């Protein structure tokens, strides 16, 4: 039996660092549950010192997850580590991940610290983290541009201090696969106590090499890969979990480690969940989880696949969960069936009132659409995932008029901070008219950066899921809305995003 490759998912932490991808506490719990269903080994739930909201999210994930290890990020500072330790108190299995930069440019320009002081602070941080848990990970940030001798020195010192995982980040996505692979091989060979820790990698995708670099490292002995669903993450993103996992499982002839412990049939639903919550849609030609990843268009390919699947397919669509979007509920399903399925999907309700409100929305949807799938349920919950106190703007009514040869118009009634207001506007289409009417009432001044519509399931009775991205004073915010009527879905998405824009944020970025 080959060794297991540890899959460390950082969708909720590094993924959330993508501009506009911020998630609420409940959304994070839902994604964490989906990752747990996939049997991901480690879930990095956030950066607890960043804000009260981040702390609460890590705490909620730590309390909700039973089978995966839950990890919290901390700079190599006492206050960060103590906060992470506190947030992770309720976890069945907790890890603290602490880091400090080790590249000459980061030490000089960002930290303004001498190398000796960096080593000292790294050691101190690991020792402090060990007071909370014996599962401690250390990352030399920007390792991909650090000097080899210095990296060896830091790693030896932190392993001696008690780090059980040492993670090598290519923070700015600068490395090429052959370089990164040999960096890992060199480190494992030259660090005298390298056998006392698991070597991990964390690659960014600035040159499109994140997955290739991670796999090159695995081939050289790395036994943990840090990755995110759909490759979400800072700038061009992180290594995509689905690509790492499927590369290792499909090419067992090459890798001497395996991912057999993962339930790979959860991949597609997890990808959809992350995309629907963050509003970061998946391109159709994206490997594994793109809509076309298993579609055979050309006649020659179709003929080949029909004669023998292996002619053109190296994986089976069903192995990654393409047919797993089960029809779960319908018009006659009761409250219990509804609650149970949502619980299985990681959604719990604060009380009967919240359950009743969601059930009313479900019944309204079931009246319009006879078969309700898991993805419909997820969208139903995503749409309502704002905390009540943060929902300052509510859609009361919308009427649009769209007719050939006429200018489309919209009549919108909103409840803003409890007061009902109505406006009309015309536009180049019904969605444009509705957005103009809404903005005339809210006066946010936010600029529309992205508007996209996707069908949640197939068929013309499918719900349309709309993503809206707004920018206000440099801050980017995404929101979603779903409905079988795409104009209403669009208005809901716009209002959802405006509500997020209207909530002030005060949050630290871990790497500045
Ligand atoms: O990219 C990076 O270096 C990170 C570290 C915090 C691991 O995200
Ligand atoms: Zn990163």
Closest protein CA for atom 5 of ligand 1: 141
Ligand 1 atom index nearest CA of 204? 1
Range list of β-strands (E), 102-153: 136-141
What local confidence, expressed as pLDDT, does residue 74 receive? 98
**Cα 171 to middle of ligand 1, angstroms:** 6
Give the pLDDT mean for 439-444. 97
pLDDT in tens, 2-34: 999 999 999 999 999 998 888 989 899 999 999
CA torsion 443→445→446→448, rounded to 10°? 90
* Residue 160 · residue 190 · CB < 8 Å: no
Q: Give 73 Cα–ligand 1 centroid separation in angstroms.
A: 9
The pLDDT confidence band at residue 305, using thresholds 50, 70 and 90, is: low
| Across 139-161, average pLDDT | 98
Does residue 298 register a pLDDT over 70?
A: no
Measured in Å, residue 242 CA sits from the centre of ligand 1 at 20
Q: What is the mean pLDDT of residues 399-413?
A: 97
pLDDT at res. 396: 97
pLDDT of residue 512: 85
Span from the CA of 72 to the centroid of ligand 2 (angstroms): 14
Q: Closest ligand 1 atom to the C-alpha of 73?
A: 6
Which atom from ligand 1 is nearest to the alpha carbon of 510? Answer: 6
- Predicted pLDDT at 73: 98
> Per the structure block, which two tokens stand in for 292?
């076309």
Residue 142's SS3 state is coil
Domains and CATH numbers, the chain: 3-278 (3.20.20.70), 327-386 (no CATH), 390-501 (3.30.160.270)
Name the closest-CA residue to atom 2, ligand 1. Answer: 171
Which ligand 1 atom is at minimum distance from the Cα of 14?
8
Q: Which residues surround ligand 2, an ion (CB under 5 A)?
A: 14
Is the pLDDT at 140 greater than 90? The verdict is yes
Within 13 Å of residue 445, how many CA atoms lie on the same side as its CB? Answer: 5
pLDDT tops 90 at residue 214 = yes
SS3 222: coil
Report which of 180, 141, 137 is spatially closest to residue 41, judged by C-alpha positions: 137
Residue 10 CA, closest ligand 1 atom number = 8
Percent of the chain having pLDDT more than 70? 96
**Candidate of 76, 171, 180, 231 to mutate for ligand 1, largest count of ligand atoms within 8 Å of Cβ:** 171
What does pTM read for this prediction? 0.89
Ligand that lies nearest to the alpha carbon of residue 168, given by its number in the listed order:
1
- The pLDDT, as a whole number, for residue 386 is 58
CA 155 – ligand 1 centroid, Å: 16
What the block records as the tokens of 50 is 């960043």
Place of tokens 């998946």: 282
Phi, psi of 25 (to 5 degrees): -60, -45
Q: Model confidence over 479-511: pLDDT tens digits?
A: 889 999 999 999 999 999 999 999 877 788 998
Strand-pairing partners, residue 7, are 225
**Residue of the nearest CA to atom 1 in ligand 1?**
171
236 alpha carbon to ligand 1 midpoint, in Å? 14
Read off the pLDDT band of 300 (50, 70, 90): low
For the chain, the average pLDDT equals 93
Structure tokens at 266: 């959860």
pLDDT in tens, 313-366: 899 999 999 875 566 788 888 888 888 888 877 777 778 888 888 899 899 999
Decide whether any atom of ligand 1 lies within 6 Å of the 8 Cβ. Answer: no
């Amino acid at each position: 039996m080959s060794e297991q490759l540890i899959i460390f998912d950082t969708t909720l932490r590094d993924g959330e660092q993508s501009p506009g991808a911020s998630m609420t506490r409940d959304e994070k719990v839902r994604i964490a549950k989906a990752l747990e269903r996939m049997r991901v080994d480690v879930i990095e739930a956030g950066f607890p010192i960043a804000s009260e909201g981040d702390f609460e999210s890590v705490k909620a994930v730590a309390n909700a997850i039973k089978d995966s290890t839950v990890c919290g990020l901390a700079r190599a500072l006492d206050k960060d580590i103590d906060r992470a330790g506190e947030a992770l108190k309720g976890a069945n299995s907790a890890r603290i991940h602490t880091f400090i930069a080790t590249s000459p440019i980061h030490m000089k320009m960002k930290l303004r610290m001498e190398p000796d002081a960096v080593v000292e602070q790294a050691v101190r941080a690991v020792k402090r983290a060990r007071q909370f848990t014996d599962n401690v990970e250390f990352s030399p940030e920007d390792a991909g541009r650090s000097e080899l001798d210095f990296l060896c020195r830091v790693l030896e010192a932190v392993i001696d201090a008690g780090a059980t995982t040492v993670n090598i980040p290519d923070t700015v996505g600068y490395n090429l696969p052959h370089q990164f692979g040999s960096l890992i091989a060199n480190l494992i060979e030259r660090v005298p106590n390298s056998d006392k820790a698991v070597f991990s990698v964390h690659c960014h995708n600035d040159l499109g090499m994140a997955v290739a670099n991670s796999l090159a490292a695995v081939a050289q002995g790395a036994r943990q890969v840090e990755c995110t669903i759909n490759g979400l993450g800072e700038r061009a993103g992180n290594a995509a979990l689905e690509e790492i996992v499927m590369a290792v499982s499909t090419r067992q002839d090459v890798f001497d480690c395996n991912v057999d412990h993962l339930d790979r049939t959860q991949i597609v639903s997890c990808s959809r969940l992350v995309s629907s919550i963050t509003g970061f849609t998946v391109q159709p030609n994206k490997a594994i989880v793109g809509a076309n990843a298993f579609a055979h268009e050309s006649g020659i390919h179709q003929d080949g696949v029909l004669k023998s699947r292996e002619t053109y397919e190296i994986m089976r669509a069903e192995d990654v969960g393409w047919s797993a979007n089960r029809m779960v509920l319908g018009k006659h399903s009761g409250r219990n069936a509804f609650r149970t399925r949502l619980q299985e999907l990681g959604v719990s309700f604060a009380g009967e009132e919240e359950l009743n409100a969601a059930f009313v929305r479900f019944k309204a949807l079931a009246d319009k659409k006879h078969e309700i799938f898991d993805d419909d349920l997820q969208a139903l919950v995503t749409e309502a995932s704002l905390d009540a106190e943060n929902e300052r703007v509510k859609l009361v009514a919308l009427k649009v008029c769209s007719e050939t040869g006429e200018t489309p118009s919209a009549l919108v009634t909103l409840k803003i901070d409890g007061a009902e207001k109505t406006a009309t506007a015309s536009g180049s289409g019904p969605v444009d008219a509705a957005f103009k009417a809404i903005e005339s009432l809210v006066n946010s001044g936010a600029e529309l950066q992205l508007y996209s519509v996707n069908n949640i399931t197939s068929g013309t009775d499918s719900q349309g899921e709309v993503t809206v991205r707004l920018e206000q004073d440099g801050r980017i915010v995404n929101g979603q809305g779903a409905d079988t009527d795409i104009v209403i879905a669009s208005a809901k998405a716009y209002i959802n995003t405006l509500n997020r824009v209207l909530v002030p944020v005060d949050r630290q970025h871990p790497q500045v």
